Structure 1
C-alpha cells in the first residue's frame, strides 16, 4: 500500500502583486507544491481580493497581514506562519517570493524528481540565478517566464548577493523558526543528523546548516535545481517595485545599485519553459475564472497607472532615464572578484583599528 502523499508547503508574502500571482501559482503547483500559505499586506491593486477568491477555490490559504509592522511585514508573516496549522501538516516547506521561480533541472522537472535525486537530503539550498531586464521597457500581460530568458552565467564570482539561497527543507522539527532565506533556530541536538545539499546535489558543511544564506561564489550550484530570480522585470515595473519597497523592510530603496547587481544577460536559459505543458492548463483555468480574470486585468491596469503617476515626479523620471541608459551588468572574472574581496577586507581591518 502506498504511503500518504508528500505535502510541500510554499509560504509567500505579497503586496500589489496581482499581475503576477496566477502565473506564479500555476507554475509552482505544476512543480509539485501541494499547499500555499499566502500573506498579503496593504494592497491597493486587488491582490487581496484575488487571494480570497483563490482560497474559495481551494488553491491556497490567505492571511490578511496589514500593517503597521515593527519588524516589516515579511517577518510578521513568518512569525504567524510558524504557528499556522499548515506548518504542522507539511512534510516540506519553503519561504520564497513572487519573483522567484523554482526550476528543477533533473527528471521531469518536479520536486519529486529533485528529492529522488538526493534521497538523503533534508534540505535543498536553492541558489538564485539572476535573470536580467533584457531591454524590456513596458509592462504588459506577457508571462514573466516567456519575457525574461537572459541571465547570469552558471559560474558567477560577483556579487556575492547573487549567490543567496532560498531553502526547501524537511519539516521534521530540526528547525524551530522560519526565516526569509532558510529556517532558523536549529535544535543543537539535531545538527549531526541534518543533511543539506546545494543545487548541484553536493553536501553542504555543518556551518552552512547553522547560519549561511549564500553558496560560494563561482561554485556553479545549479546541476539539479536553481531558483530563477526575476528581480527586475520591465523598466516600468521596476519603478513600481521601487515605490512599493521590500517585503522585509518597510522602506528600503531600490536604486541603480540594486539594478546593476542583478541585470545580467550573459547567458540564455529557457529550461524552465519545459514546465509549460503542466502549468499552462492550470493558468488558463485560473484566467478563465469569472472573478479572477477581471481582477488580474485590473491589477495590471493598476500597475500601469501607478507608473504613470510616478513619472509626474522628477526623481522617478530621473531613475527611469538611468535605467534606459544603463548597459547590462558586466560579468567579473575570478581575479576581479578577488580584488574586491581584498579591498573589503583591508577596509574592515582599518575600521576595526580606528574603533
Structure 2
C-alpha cells in the first residue's frame, strides 16, 4: 500500500511538473507575441550592427585598421554620406514628396473620371470601391504618412543607437546569449550564430546594391518619360526593393497613378520603365549580386513575407526577408545537419 501511495505521489508530481511546463511555455509565447514589435526593433538593431561591420570589414582586412577604429570610421563615413546626400538632394526630394502628396489625389480623381467613361473601367472602379474604398485611401495617403512619420522616426533613432551599442560591443551581447545555451552545445551555437551573421552580412550588402541600382534606374527612366516628381518616385522604388516581390509592386502604384494623371501616353511609358526596372533587377542584379551572396529560394522569401505580414503587420513585412535568412540558416544547420545528420560532404581530393 505504501509503495502504491509513493508511486501515485510521484505520478502527481510529474503531472504537476508537466502542467507547469506547459503553462510556462504558454506564458512565454504570449509574452513574445505581446513584445513582437520590440523584438523586431531589436532585430533591426542587429541589422544596423551587421551593416556597420560590413562597412568596417574592408578597412580591417586591407588597411589593417583595428576594428573599433574601423567601426568609428564606418560610422563617420556613413554619417557624412547621409549628410551630403541630404544637402544635395534633401530639399528637392522634400519638395517632390510634398508635390507628390498633392498629385496623387488629383491623379486618382482624373483616373476615376477616365475609368467611368468605359463599361470595363466602371466595373473595375466599382470593385475597388467595394473592396477598400480605394479613393478614400488614396486621398488620405499623404496625411497618414505624415502622421506615422514621427513614431517611425523615433523607432529608427532607437534602432540606430542600439545598433551602435551592438556593433561596438558584440562580445558582451553574444556571450550573454550563449550563456542561455547548455555548455555542451555552446560551441555549435557559436558556429550557428556566426553563420547567421555572415548570411545577414551578405544579404544586406546585396540588398543595398539592388536598392541603389533600381532606385537610380527607375528615377532616371521616369524623368525621361516626363513623369512628375521622378526623384521622389525613384526613392520609393529603391526603398521598395527591401521587401522582395511585394515591395516593388507596391512602389509602382504612386508612379502609375501620377503618370495616369498626366496622360495615357505617359502612363504607358511609366509602365515600361517599371517593368524594365523589375526585369533588370530579376535578370541582372539578382543573379549577379544577391544569389551569389545568400542562398535563399525565392518561394521561401515570398511565403515569409506573406506570413510575417499576416502575423505581425507592416513591421513584420519589413523584416520578413532577413528573418527568413536567419531561419534558413537555423533549419539547415540545426535540423538538417544536427538532427537529421545530413551534413555536407567535403571533398578533400586535390
TM-score (norm 1): 0.22
Structure holding more strand per residue: 1
Q: Which structure has the higher relative contact order (CA within 8 Å, separation 6+)?
A: 1
Structure holding more helix per residue: 2
TM-score (norm 2): 0.23
Larger of the two Rg values belongs to structure: 2
